[in-house]
Structure 1
Amino acid sequence: MAGNTFKFGKDTWDPTHRFETSWLLTPWALFFCRALISLYAFTTLVFVLIWNCVNGEQGCTASQNQFGYFTSLTYWGIGFYFFFAALHTFTYARHGVPLLDRFPRPLQALHSAFYTTIIVYPLVVTIVYWARLYSGTWFPVVFQAWSNISQHLLNSVFALFEIIIPRTDTPPALHMLWLILVLALYLALAYVVEATKGFYPYDFLDPQKQHAWVAAYVFGIAVGCIILFGFAWGCVWLRRYVTETKLARHGKFASHTLSGPRPIGDDLASRDTEMHKVRQAGEAA
């Protein structure tokens, strides 16, 4: 796996358009859902920034500080992922070939890695917030209740949508390395925030208060991220097994393509299974 960390693969990219299709929704319906989620995420982010500028005790400083929180950064990630996922789904529904298929292979691989972060990081944020950061009392201000539900609960709902509804395949195991690397980069950012802004985004990162527990928190979150990757991987595998193997629902596709007739039914399942075996062999090499 370590040897393939910087390889993008040579097999055919997503031959049956798993990133743009669903076993349940038509391509147009999937586009609409993804676009709506993206719109909601960006609306939430912009409204929170404006609200903090207008009503916060620190004015726009509080809005600037939002970019030091992992919660906020992952929510921006949700907004951008669903925007591009909606764009790729729209181009597939409209033309039969998604824009993603025209991208260079490194960008296609990055989209796959982006998908993995979307189905894992929101689960990390939700669990850490409600298990460690939540004060235990309900929010007295409606805005605080709404913003926290949006960013610490609906984020995982959006992740579960991407796990359950599209036809996406199980993410490669090497994506675990990139998940941990991004967490390490955020840890560095958190201490940059303290050095430049004078506060820790999360109190469990403060060595003066937590002492040796800081290492335990960091290690625990890293291990939890790997466990949640396994959970997401298992859910994707189970969805594919139930919908395709047991229910024979191989997906709803665009009515036209630019590359000729598309395979359907058993032909589609056979082609996808073969490509899955090729990818697994490449990862094991």
Structure 2
Amino acid sequence: MAGKPFSFGTDRWDPAHRFETSWLISPWALFFFRALFSLYGFFTTVFISIWQCYNSPIGCLESEERFSYFTILTYWGLSFYFLVSAVHTFTYARSGVPLLDRFPRPLQALHSAFYTTVVTYPFTVTIVYWAVLYSGPWYPKAFDGWSNVSQHLLNSVFALFEIIIPRTNPMPAVHMLWLIIVLALYLAVAYITHARWGFYPYSFLDPGKQHAWVAAYVFGIAIGALIIFGVVYGLVALRKWVTETKLGKHGKFSKQSPRRIEHDEEMVEVTSEASPAKPPAPASA
């Protein structure tokens, strides 16, 4: 039945359950993949830290220094995002009401911003690493090759999954501001690292070697992140247009919840894949 006009952010939070559903796979399958990616991410970061503790010449000190790298911080963020989104998807698949719906509105907005970071920063990390930092040859040790592929390539594969498979809407433009703020905060972390440990996480941040080029790198990465945001925005909008407008795939929903789709800026509950339910007859006087 047709509901009240839908206005995301001022009406109910995500009434169509876009963060917990997919146009292609069931909520249970979406939960499985998100949980799997989270498990792999946490396993990778913990295993690498333990390996470095026991195999690095400086022992566990290198593992502590890992938290100074943007790559590592974003990989932890990616792992936690998939954990949190898996929980929300699980609760939706099981009961028809995701845990996210029970959160205060500020936390719901933060989840949306969290989504924006995990579909933007991984591509920034991948491009900067392979285009700027990696100089070859390929790593002679299997561990080094696996760890770098996991953190600098699979991170973007996981992000691409979140762009293509869920039914999320294009990200709000205001999130560009938060992307820049987070990058600025990381820049502070990089210089705190130098003050604490005596090294820069990335050589292009060293003013002693790069001089004025440091500013060029910093602004270049910030602009690059915004460009990536724009590309991702376009990909999400394209996916939504192709799957919903052209193919009519409005989503696979929990059996515990009616199918709510957006139609002409109204929320429409659909009882089957074929046709919408008829609106109730008006009450007689």
- TM-score in same-fold range (> 0.5): yes
How many angstroms does 1:25 deviate by? Answer: 0.5
Tell me how far 1:12 sits from its aligned partner.
1.8
Instruction: Specify the alignment match of 1:119 in structure 2.
Output: 119
Give the CA deviation at 1:274. Answer: 4.1
| Cα distance in 2, alignment partners of residues 256 and 32 from structure 1 | 18
Answer whether contact 2:16 2:262 (CA < 8 A) is retained. Answer: no
1:269 to 262, 265, 271: 262
Equivalent residue runs for 1:8-157 within 5 Å: 9-157=9-157
In 2, the alpha carbon distance for the partners of 1:218 and 1:65 equals 21
Name structure 2 gaps, 5 residues minimum: 1-7, 268-285
Q: Distance in 1 between matches of 2:266 and 2:231?
A: 25
Q: What is the Cα deviation at residue 57 of structure 1?
A: 1.0
User: Within 1, Cα distance between the matches of 2:259 and 2:202?
Assistant: 50
Aligned residues: 260
> Higher strand proportion, which one?
2
Report deviation, 1:269.
3.3
Question: Which contiguous aligned blocks of 4+ residues in structure 1 show a shift greater than 6 angstroms?
Answer: none
Q: 1:88-146, CA deviations, whole angstroms, 9 ceiling, x for partnerless residues?
A: 00000000000000000000000000000000000000000000000221001110000
Q: In structure 1, give the amino acid aligned to 2:91.
A: T
Inter-partner Cα distance in structure 2 for 1:227 and 1:65: 30
Flag the structure with larger Rg: 2
> C-alpha distance in 1, partners of 2:182/2:107?
17
Task: Please report the TM-score for the alignment, with normalisation by the length of structure 1.
Answer: 0.89
Q: Percent identity?
A: 69
Counterpart of 1:5?
none
Q: 1:99 to 1:220 in 2, by over 3 A?
A: same
Partner residue, 1:196: 196
Structure with greater proportional helix content = 1
Mapped partners of 1:11, 1:256: distance in 2: 22
CA distance in 2, matches of 1:198, 1:269: 54
TM superposition score normalised by structure 2: 0.89
C-alpha separation between the residues in 2 aligned to 1:12 and 1:188? 37
Provide the secondary structure at the position in 2 that maps to 1:129.
Answer: helix
1-structure distance, mates of 2:248, 2:229: 26
Distance (whole Å) between structure 2 residues aligned to residue 73 and residue 274 of structure 1? 40
Q: Which runs of 5+ in 1 are unaligned?
A: 1-7, 276-285
Q: CA RMSD in A?
A: 1.2
